[in-house]
Every structure is written in C-alpha cells, then in structure tokens.
Structure 1
Amino acid sequence: MWDAKVAVAYLDKHARSASHGKCAAYVRKAIEAGGVRLHRHTSAKDYGESLIAAGFAVEEASILNAGDVVVIQPIAGHRHGHVAMYDGAKWVSDFKQRNGLYPSESYRRLTPAFTIYRHP
C-alpha cells in the first residue's frame, strides 16, 4: 500500500544540500519506503515505465500533491535525465532543489520534456 507521507519523509531525510548524481537511486528508495516496489534502472529517464507498472498514472493537473514524481528527459551533458519527488513545498531528488522542477540552470535554460506521475 502506497504511503506518500512516508516516501516524502524518507526522501527529505536523506537528501543532501547539493546534487551528487544519484537522483534515480534516492527517489527509487523513497518510493520503496512508501510501500511501492519499482524495477531498477540505470537512468532516471527510464523510470516512467516502472512507475506505471507500480500503479502510478500520468498526472496532467496543475496542482501538485506530495508524493508526485517527475521524470525529466536528458539534455546535453546529462544523458540519464532526472527524476524527483514533490514533498508538498519543493522538488527533492538526491538534493533539495531550490529552483523548482528543473534541477539546474542548464535544465531550466533548455526546458526538456517531462512527465509527472501520481499514485492514486
């Protein structure tokens, strides 16, 4: 049974102040702490299928909920893309993102495609 509060608490507790390139592992572990098992992937960009298989659905609403997960496609220099979870106030991956959905200036400048997933 999915518990978004447990997943968010796990991620907030373990996230660092700056990225160290482990977004997929941190977010996967948080989702699993929340009660949903995911297939493991090397690249963050590949987690969409696993989220769908685990009961998440693509979310198109503009209002975010704690526990929503974003999968962002790759950009030059970041071939694995990015994944993060919304904690109710900010996006968190392996670090607490200070500037919204995109994790860095290069992502904000290039605005690659992304998909938001929500567990019902």
Structure 2
Amino acid sequence: MKLIFTEYSAILIFFAISSLLSSVIFLLSYFLIPQKPDQEKVSAYECGFNPFDDARATFDIRFYLVAILFLIFDLEISFLFPWSLVLGEISIIGFWSMIVFLVILTIGFIYEWYKGALEWE
C-alpha cells in the first residue's frame, strides 16, 4: 500500500492543488463581481442580431448517434496506435485481444449499418 501511495502522491497533490485553486478562483469571481442581470445580458446572442428563432430547438437524434460513433472510433484509434508501436514486443495474447476488440467494433458498426441508423433522409 505504501508503494502505491508513493507512486501516486504527486498526482494526488496536483489534483488537490488544482481543485483548491479552481474553487477559490470560481468563488472569488462569483462574490467579487456585481451580479446585475438585465434583459440584454440574459437574452440569446446571435452575431449581434436579435435571435431569429428559439435558441433551444431540438436536434434530431441522428446527430447524437453520429457524435457517439465518432467518439467510439476515435477511442479505437487511441487504442490502436500504442498497440501498433509495441506489437513486436507483446505476446500473442496481446495480439489476439486487440483482434477481438476490433472484431467487436466491426460487428457493432455492421449492426448499426444494417439497422439503418446511418441512413440520412
């Protein structure tokens, strides 16, 4: 247990100092600046013009689906790059575990494709 604490103590100290500093800065800015909201400050702002429509319009769910798929495949690349750098040094278990990971992602992508989730009307 002591070994783990000595290894991660710098990270814990950094986290504690950054949390404390950000909290102090937030609280100082909240209490020192006068809060006087008026109609201009709380209105929606669109490049200097009055808003044309409601700023809280709903989005189609397909935008979220595309964003989540982008994040998943972006995360896949972040796993693939270090794996490709150490491919000659890892065992056969490391190789096949990444192949299984890629097969699962491919099956999920094919499922999304056949379900029509990527079709845009």
Q: Give the TM-score taking structure 1 as reference length.
A: 0.20
| Greater relative contact order structure (CA < 8 Å, 6+ sep) | 1
Structure showing greater radius of gyration is: 2
Q: Give the strand-richer structure, 1 or 2.
A: 1
